[in-house]
A and B are shown apart, each in its own frame.
Chain A
Amino acid sequence: DAKTTQPTSMDCAEGRAANLPCNHSTISGNEYVYWYRQIHSQGPQYIIHGLKNNETNEMASLIITEDRKSSTLILPHATLRDTAVYYCIVRVGTSGTYKYIFGTGTRLKVLA
C-alpha cells in the first residue's frame, strides 16, 4: 500500500503558484520523499526529492514539515504545460533494493 495520501485533483491559474500537498504520516526516519509528474501518454518525470530539509531546483520547491509527516510541492509560476498528474512517493528499502510505491496522485489542471 502507498505510504502517501494526496488530493485527487486541483486547479491552478496560469502564472500563479501551484501548491500540492502530500501526507506521509508513517514515514520512517531514513525514507526520502520523491515527487514525480506524469503528462498524458508519457512516463513519469522526476521533479525533486528530499529527506528533511527544504529543497529547490529549477523545476520546483519541496517543503517538508519538521515532523516529516507531510510535504508540499510548489511550482512557483504554473504554466499550461504543468498540467499533469503529480505523484508524491516515499522511497522504501535499502541501497540496491530501493523501490517506489505509487499512490493515485493529484491531477493538476492549470487554467488559462
Chain B
Amino acid sequence: EAGVAQSPRYKIIEKRQSVAFWCNPISGHATLYWYQQILGQGPKLLIQFQNNGVVDDSQLPKDRFSAERLKGVDSTLKIQPAKLEDSAVYLCASSLGYRLGQGLDTQYFGPGTRLTVL
C-alpha cells in the first residue's frame, strides 16, 4: 500500500513570509498527526485530527500556525508569518484510529518537509 505522502520536500523562505505544507495519509486512516522536528531533537506533536475534527492542538502556536483537514483525508499545515525558529522538519503521520485493540494503532510517518527560514 502507498505510504504517507508529503509535499514539498524542501522549502526555503524568508522570515515573515507564509508557507504551507500538504499531507496525504494512508488510505483509510482516520487519524492524522503533524509533528515538528527541530535539528537534534525528537518529533514534537503539533496537532492531531480524528477524521476532520481536532483531537489535540495544545502544542500548536495558534498565533501563527494553522491546520485543516477538510473531508477527513488530506491535510494542510500553514505558517503565517514564519519566524527563524520555525526552521525544522515538519512530519505528517497517520494511523487507523479505530478500536481495533489497544496495540494496533500504529503511526506511519511520511518523509517530512524540511523548512528553512532565513
A residues with a Cβ closer than 8 A to B are 2, 30, 32, 34, 36, 41-46, 49-51, 87, 91, 95-105
**How many angstroms between the C-alpha atoms of A30 and B107 in the bound complex?**
18
In the assembled complex, the Cα of A61 lies from the Cα of B44 at a distance in Å of 26
Q: CB-nearest residue of chain B relative to A31? A: B102
Whole-angstrom CA separation of A91 from B43 in the bound complex: 14
Which residues on the A side are within 8 Å of B75 (C-beta)? none
A96 contacts B50, C-beta separation under 8 Å: yes
User: Judging by beta carbons under 8 Å apart, are A44 and B41 in contact?
Assistant: no
| Contact across chains for A100 and B102 when beta carbons are under 8 A apart | no
Size class of the contact patch on chain B: 20 to 34
Q: Is B48's CB under 8 angstroms from A97's CB?
A: yes
Contact A30 B48 (CB under 8 A): no
Tell whether, in the assembled complex, residue A49 and residue B106 are in contact, meaning their CB atoms are under 8 Å apart: yes
B interface residues with partner A (beta carbon < 8 Å): 4, 30-31, 33, 40-45, 48, 50, 55-56, 91, 93, 95, 97-99, 102-103, 105-112
User: Knowing A43-B4, A43-B110, A43-B111 touch, does A102 contact B44 (C-beta < 8 A)?
Assistant: yes
Nearest opposing residue in chain A for B103, CB measure:
A32
Q: What's the minimum C-beta distance from B13 to chain A, rounded to whole angstroms?
A: 20
Residue of A nearest to B43 (CB): A102
Given the known inter-chain contacts A43-B111, A43-B112, please indicate yes or no for A49 contacting B42, CB distance below 8 A.
no
Known A-B contacts: A43-B93, A96-B31, A102-B42. Give 15 more (CB < 8 A).
A2-B42, A34-B106, A43-B4, A44-B43, A44-B93, A49-B106, A51-B102, A87-B42, A91-B105, A95-B97, A95-B99, A95-B102, A99-B56, A103-B42, A104-B41
Q: Give every chain A residue within 8 A of B107 (Cβ-Cβ).
A: 46, 100
Contact between B42 and A105, CB atoms less than 8 A apart: yes
Residues of chain B lying within 8 A (CB to CB) of residue A95 = 97-99, 102, 105
